[in-house]
Amino acid sequence: MLYLFILPAVLMAPTLTEDQIRTARSMSPVPPPPSSPTNAMADDPAAALLGQSLFFEPGISGKGTTSCSSCHQPTLAFSDGRHVSTGAGVGIRNAPTLLGAAHQRWFFWDGRADSLWMQATHPIEDPLEMNAARGDVVQFIAHTPQLRRRYESLFGPIPELGALPAGLTPESEQWNSLTSTQQQSVNEIFVNLCKCLAAYERQLQPGDSDFDRWVASFESPDAGPALSDSAIRGFQLFTGDAGCWQCHFGPLLSDREFHDLGLPAPDGSPSTDPGRGEGYATLRASSFRADGPWSDAPESRAARRAAAARIGPEHWGAFRTPSLRNVALTAPYMHDGRFASIAEVLEFYNTLETQARRHHHAEDVLQPLNLNAAQLADLEAFLRSLSGAPPATHLLGPLQDTPPTAIPGDQIRHSTPPAATKGAPIHE
Amino acid sequence: MMTRTLVALVMLAALGGCSAGHQLAPPPGHLMRTTDGQWDVIVSSSSDTWPLNEYFDLEIRVIRGPSAPVEVRADAGMPAHRHGMNVQVDTVRTTSDIWLTQDMLLHMPGDWVLTIDVIDTSGVLHRATMPIVVH
């Protein structure tokens, strides 16, 4: 007899409250990226083309074998599928997706960059990533005709720098043998290249997902297929009792800030990774920050806001909240890629049994979810509904007219004269 | 929350004549009183609501007190979460009794507490707090 009352409730599609509808609308669609005043080239199509050339160019790495796309692979939603990234060495952090990266307030898991262009300056020179020397990158551009033409069409002639010593970085002894003008030129070219990389990456937007089509169907029932009942229940849990929405909200499903989850070290003891506690110091020590000398708007409100970041005891061991857009495509998970599947992530949050903290300053946001298996499956169904179409095909690989690496001499046939490059359509 | 705001606005009407040096009616805002009852401030946000994870400014108008304050500070935190804002804000005097805090950021939804500190000429800190809910 009891079943007569329960069965209809089980079979009924979940219904949404006004609050839930309002919340769903606040999460979709993904808007265009916010402006980037510290990068004058951020929305320049020609800069984006140069950035795209550089993104897939291994020639700007120390050994000529690694490019940005090595760890941010278009076929893996611009992540790499590894626990931690491997370039010139083995890193300590998982490569996040670049889809939607331009929406972030901070970059890297520890927020050691405050702009997309500043982010690009790190991996090129990181000994564990591309391990390039700044002077070598500049020389590569200067001696690769296609890249040089693109660069000079944007920024003017590359000054005559002479034969820069190999391995030239600001930290190297040879750096002091350069004149201040040479140092300035090397830095300026390097920064300009990174601003072009950012211009390309700004175009890597998350595509519409089943979730977006579901939200659009609130206004227009023909907009697309509805979510499964399981995914809708998962959405209700996500934005309700499970509390995921406290940190994962808005179109990116991220507060874009930092939290300490108490993830333990591999042996179960409290982690020793300072996360934001170190990232903040790295950011402030860099001349590439938004309010620094290489910013195109160091006095802007955006730069002042970045400079006003506060670091407190609770930020030790904290990492940036990742976007959950395309989360099903970007395994493994967490800052060190410790969880192979969404189910493993949910299991951590469900019990918090493995949580371990080194200090008493941590914020107190997480509580065990205590969900049953069916509820966990619903949450996962919702998360899987956030997978969107990839960016346009022409953004997913090197430009057709760009060689994979430098070719001695000017043997490259150019499809577009440099003078006509600026303002050209993105698609070549 | 709504009730609290309405009460504050009603109180504003009663306090309108107390604002020394200001003939104009104070702008809509939230009345906050320090815990010792010595100071009243009206806090107005540049946003219609308490915005979630978006920067906003606060105007703090000191409308009652035993003397001119030396300094005013604004801050906010989530006591239940045991964290504050992730930004360091400065509050600057714009006129004799109006102070401005730029770029406040309430980065999570939920229950926050807005804190206004008034420092008097003796260096004593007087604190007013107000619970706010961010959706």
Question: With an 8 Å Cβ cutoff, are A255 and B110 in contact?
Answer: no
pLDDT in the model for residue A225: 64
Tell me the per-residue pLDDT of A91-138, one tens digit each, with 9 for 90 and over. Answer: 999 999 999 999 999 999 999 999 999 999 999 999 999 999 999 999
Any domain includes B39: yes
Q: CATH number of the domain at B66, please.
A: 2.60.40.2550
Q: What is the mean pLDDT of residues A165-183?
A: 95
Contact (Cβ atoms closer than 8 angstroms) between residue A154 and residue A196:
yes
Is B81 close to A364, i.e. CB distance below 8 A?
yes
Taking alpha carbons only, the member of A386, A322, A387, A332 closest to residue A104 is A322
Round to whole Å and give the CA distance between A428 and B17: 68
pLDDT digits (tens, 9 = 90+) for A129-143: 999 999 999 999 999
Residue A108: CB atoms within 10 Å: 22
Predicted confidence (pLDDT) at residue A419 exceeds the cutoff of 50: no
Nearest CA in chain B to A364: B81
Contacts of A315 in chain B (CB under 8 A): 86
Does B79 contact A at CB distance below 8 Å? Answer: no
* Contact present, A20 and A236 (Cβ < 8 Å): yes
Whether B35 maps to a domain, the answer reads yes
pLDDT 10s digits, A361-417? 888 899 999 999 999 999 999 999 999 999 999 999 999 765 545 443 333 322 332
Give the least confident one: A28-42, A282-296, B12-26. B12-26
Is B25 part of a structural domain of the chain? no
Q: Give the pair of three-digit tokens for residue A174.
A: 């040879």
Residue B76 forms contact with A (CB below 8 Å): no
**CB-based contact A256 B86, cutoff 8 Å:** no
Structural domain count, chain B: 1
Tokens 């000529």 — which residue?
A: A64
CB pairs under 8 A between A and B: 53
* Pairwise CB contact (< 8 Å): B103 & A304: yes
B103, closest residue in chain A (CA to CA)? A305
Chain A contact for B92 (CB, 8 A cutoff): no
Region class of A370: left (phi > 0), else alpha (psi between -120 and 50), else beta: left
Using CA atoms, how far apart are residues A363 and B78, in angstroms rounded to an integer? 9
Contact A362 B82 (CB under 8 A): yes
Is the residue at B24 inside a domain?
Answer: no
pLDDT in tens, B7-26: 444 444 444 333 333 334 44
Return mean pLDDT, chain A: 90
* Separation CA A12–CA A3 (nearest Å): 14
The answer to whether residue B26 sits within a structural domain is no
What confidence score (pLDDT) does residue A401 get?
66
d(CA B45, CA B68): 22
Would residue B122 count as lying in a domain? yes
B50 beta partners: none
Q: What is the distance in angstroms between the Cα of B59 and the nearest Cα belonging to chain A? A: 18
Q: Is B107 on the interface with A (CB under 8 A)?
A: yes
Does the beta-carbon distance from A310 to B86 stay under 8 Å? Answer: yes
Amino acid (1-letter code) at residue A107: F
Distance CA A98, CA A48 (A): 15
Give chain A's domains with CATH numbers: 18-33+206-275+319-384 (1.10.760.10), 45-204+393-420 (1.10.760.10)
List, in sequence order, every residue forming a beta bridge with A375; answer none if it has no partner: none
Pick among A27, A261, A314, A321 to test the B interface (most B CBs inside 10 A) = A314
Per-residue pLDDT tens digits for B88-112: 999 999 999 999 999 999 999 999 9
Task: For residue B127, give how far its alpha carbon lies from the nearest alpha carbon of chain A (Å).
Answer: 22
Residues 273-302 of A with CB under 8 A from B: 301
pLDDT for position A226: 75
Q: Considering the domain boundaries, does residue B40 fall inside one?
A: yes
A258 in contact with chain B, both atoms CB, cutoff 8 A: yes
Percentage of residues in chain A having pLDDT higher than 70? 90
> Does residue B96 fall inside a structural domain?
yes
Mean of pLDDT values over A174-186: 95
User: Hey, of A106, A246, A260, which one would you mutate to test binding to chain B, going by the most B CBs within 10 A of its CB?
Assistant: A246
User: What range does the domain containing B61 cover?
Assistant: 2-18+31-134
